[in-house]
Amino acid sequence: MQIVIEIPEAFYKYCKSQEDATEIQLAVKNGVPLPKGHGNLIDVDALIKQLEAMANNRWNIQVGASKGLEAAIDSADDAPTIIEAYKGEEE
């Protein structure tokens, strides 16, 4: 299971410094900090599916909008990954 929580920086540094850490300290120690100033965290795979559906829409093909949507799909696909996709079982 993956969760995103906000913790004080001092606690994060404390957990990182522990050699004999508790389970929660290990979770924090091995966690991935979100970069400061990050934007919204979205499901880019869902966005790409939505953009692909729009690009394949007959109206978009007729007016030539599909090229722009294809560029948007490429941009979304190339966006930097902050947290890898969750590969566990659905809850």
pLDDT tens readout for residues 12-33: 999 999 888 899 999 998 888 8
Of the chain, the percentage scoring pLDDT greater than 70 comes to: 86
**Distance between CA 64 and CA 23 in Å, rounded?**
55
Is a pLDDT exceeding 80 seen at residue 76?
yes
Q: Is residue 52 a contact partner of residue 37, using CB atoms and an 8 Å limit?
A: no
What average pLDDT does range 42-52 have in this prediction?
A: 84
Q: Is residue 2 a contact partner of residue 86, using CB atoms and an 8 Å limit?
A: yes
Per-residue pLDDT at 17: 92
Among positive and negative, which fits the CA dihedral 51, 56, 57, 59?
A: positive
44-55 per-residue burial string, b: 16 or more CB within 10 A, e: under 16? eeeeeeebeebb
pTM > 0.75: no
Residue corresponding to tokens 């790409």: 48
